[in-house]
Structure 1
Amino acid sequence: MKEQKIKQDICIGASIRRLRQGKKLGQTELAGLLQLEGVPMTREALVKIERGTQHIQASQLRAIKNALGVTYDELLES
Structure 2
Amino acid sequence: MVRRGAVLGLGALWWWAVARLLLAPDAGVVEGAVAAGGWGLSLLPVHCVPKARAEGALAAGRWRRAWRVSTVRRFTDGE
State the TM-score, normalized to the length of structure 2: 0.28
User: 1 or 2, which has the higher helix percentage?
Assistant: 2
**Bigger RCO of structures 1 and 2 (CA < 8 A, at least 6 apart):** 1
Which structure: larger Rg?
2
